[in-house]
Structure formats: C-alpha cells, structure tokens
C-alpha cells in the first residue's frame, strides 16, 4: 500500500488461513525524495505529464518489487508460498464524477520482477458501476471488526481521513471525511522542511485561527452526504493558500489545520455515524497525540483508541486490507459495498496479472 501521504510503501505479509487475518511480517520502504517530488507534481497538469507518469509507474513497480523481496527475506518465506500481491498503486487523480481514477503502477512489470501474481486497479470497477471507487477498506472492516452489540466506527487518518460506520444489525457505511494529514504535512514541509509534524508538536505550539478555521470548514465537501470520496484534487496547498492573507503565523496555520482535520471528523461522526460509542483509529494520524487529544475533546461521548486493542496494528490496517481485497479478487468474490461507494451493485474488484 502507498497512500495519499506519499511517504513510501507499506508491505504486509498476511496469512488468511485462520478465521482472523494474521500479520506475519511487515516492512516500510520510504520513497526516494525525487520520486516523491515527481508524484506530487503529477497531481497537477504539466508538460509531458503522460510520459512522466509512465516513467513514475515503472519506478513505483521497482519500489514495490524491492519492498516485496525485503519483506519475504525478512519473513523467511519464498515467493512460491505467496498466493498474490495486492498492489493499490499511487493515486495521482481521483475524479469519480468524471468516471475515472488513476493509480500509478506497472503491474505487469511488478509481476515480472517478483514472479508472483499481482492484483491491482481495485477502484475502476466500482466507478464503472457508478460508485466513488473509494473508500474500499470498509468492506474489510465490516468483515473483521464489526461487533454484535456495540456501535463502532473505524477512523483511518492517512493523507485523507475516512470513516467506517459499523452500527449493530445495520448496514455498514463509509466515506472520506476530508483532509487527514496531507495539509499538515504539506504546510510543515514548506515551512520547516519536515515530512510530518511529529506528535502534532508544532501544531500544539500555535493557536487556532477561528476565522480561518470557519472559512476552511465552509468547503461544500464537508456538508455533502455520503457516499463521497476526495483527495489531493481538492485538498492541497493551492486550496489552502487561497484562504490565507499571508499575515498568519505559520505555527498558527498548522494549529488550524489540525483543528480542521479534527473538527471535520467529529462533525462527520455526529452527522453520519449517529450513536457511535467506540472509535478505533489507524493510519499515520493515529500517532499524532495533539490530534487524538483534539478528537477526544470534540467527541467526549465516544471512547477513542488505536486499533491495536482490536488486534490490528494501526500502521498496517490498510496494507492488510488490500491483501484481503486481493484475496477476494482471486476468489471472484465481490468486495465493494454499494452502501459505501454508491455503486449500483456489488462488484469483483481488481485486475489480475498472472505470474
């Protein structure tokens, strides 16, 4: 898995032979900085972008293959023991309103470099059926994290934040709430040349700018009812900076961006996950102490904990989920939830590249 945060590759080796998925081994491989810059630039139209995108897809396949080999060596497992690689690819456009989404990856090259079946392009089939193509992980949450009597919600805070609502004896829903870490990451990268705000310490050193926060929260996306999904196409530095006067202290903007993430999540829970009693957090944002404190203050009615207490490491939830999605593809089992994505019907997701 490589997500909107553009930090690198999460490689997870998952065993599905028992009732609950078992994370056998994991490995994180950071992106080389030049690749990260290319991927970030590809989110906007540019000269010769088709050629650049294909070159980036080839490099991504090599990164994914390298991560696979390190992971298997670390685990002491041979390629012959692996059923498939589920590879999401790197999203550079997500425009379901126009009927398409683009995740960069050369799955054929990844198959060639690893000698393992590859399942990729998970989102296109759902979009073809009229859905958002995202989020897809709620189907996995529904399968393994639902509780018979307790109303749970699973909150993934990656570059974009998304919620899975698991009300007992009712239909699972899920949607993107808006920015997770991506605006905070972009702002600290610009002003402190850091990839992220560790523990939310820089944000905690600033003060929320109420007028700016209300302006940002006025973005129509936040009030839109699910199904819905979003990404860097909407939430990016250009979007942020058009709302700034230029006189704000940079730490205060960071504090306001943290509040934007926290308040948009809390409002989404209140509006669309009514009655949720427990929230379990995963993704990189689960390590942001200041953000979790903000969420607990904004939602005192909810118990908020990391997904570790449910037996799944917060850092590896999404990678495990895409391994599960790949398994569903090989079994020809539908793996989208129409109530989540808005698709007309359940679909078998993904394209298979046999070794």
Q: What is the pLDDT of residues 8-65, one digit of tens each?
A: 999 999 999 998 999 999 999 999 999 999 999 999 889 999 999 999 999 999 999 9
Confidence label for 5 from pLDDT (cuts 50, 70 and 90): confident
The model scores a pTM over 0.85? yes
Q: What is the pLDDT of residues 246-282, one digit of tens each?
A: 999 999 999 999 999 999 999 999 999 999 999 999 9
Instruction: Locate 13 and state its tokens.
Output: 């080796």
With 0-12 CB in 10 A as exposed, 13-18 as middle and 19+ as buried, what is 155?
buried
Percent of the chain having pLDDT more than 90?
Answer: 97
- CB-based contact 235:179 (threshold 8 Å): yes
What are the Cα distances from residue 132, in Å, to 107, 175, 234, 336? 22, 9, 15, 10
**Domains of the chain, with CATH numbers?**
8-132+316-353 (3.30.420.40), 146-310 (3.30.420.40)
189 has a pLDDT exceeding 90: yes
Strands 303-306, 278-282: pairing is parallel
């Amino acid at each position: 898995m490589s997500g909107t945060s553009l930090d690198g590759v999460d490689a997870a080796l998952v065993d599905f032979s028992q009732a609950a998925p078992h994370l056998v081994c994991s490995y994180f491989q950071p992106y080389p900085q030049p690749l990260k810059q290319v991927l970030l630039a590809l989110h906007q139209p540019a000269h010769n972008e088709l050629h650049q995108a294909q070159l980036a897809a080839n490099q991504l396949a090599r990164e994914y293959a390298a991560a696979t080999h390190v992971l298997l060596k670390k685990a002491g497992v041979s390629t012959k023991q692996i059923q498939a690689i589920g590879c999401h690819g790197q999203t550079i456009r997500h425009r379901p309103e126009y009927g398409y989404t683009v995740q960069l990856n050369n799955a054929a090259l990844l198959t060639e470099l690893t000698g393992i079946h590859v399942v990729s392009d998970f989102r296109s089939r759902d979009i073809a059926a009229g859905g958002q193509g995202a989020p897809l992980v709620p189907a996995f949450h529904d399968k393994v994290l639902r509780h018979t009597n307790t109303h749970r919600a699973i909150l993934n805070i990656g570059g974009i934040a998304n919620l899975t609502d698991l009300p007992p004896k009712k239909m699972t829903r899920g949607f993107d709430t808006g920015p997770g870490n991506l605006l905070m990451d972009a702002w600290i990268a610009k002003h402190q040349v850091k990839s992220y705000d560790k523990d939310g310490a820089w944000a905690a050193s600033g003060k929320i700018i109420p007028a700016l926060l209300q302006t940002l929260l006025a973005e129509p996306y936040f009030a839109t009812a699910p199904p819905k999904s979003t990404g860097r196409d909407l939430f990016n530095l250009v979007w942020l900076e058009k709302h700034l006067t230029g006189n704000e202290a940079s730490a205060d903007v960071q504090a306001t961006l943290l509040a934007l993430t926290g308040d948009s999540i809390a409002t989404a829970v209140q509006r669309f996950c009514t009655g949720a009693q427990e929230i379990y957090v995963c993704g990189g944002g689960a390590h942001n102490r200041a953000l979790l404190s903000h969420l607990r203050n904004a939602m005192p009615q909810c118990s908020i904990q990391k997904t570790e207490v449910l037996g799944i490491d917060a850092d590896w939830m999404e990678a495990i989920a895409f391994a599960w999605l790949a398994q569903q593809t090989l079994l020809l089992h539908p793996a989208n939830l129409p109530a989540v994505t808005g698709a007309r019907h359940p679909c078998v997701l993904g394209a298979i590249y046999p070794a």
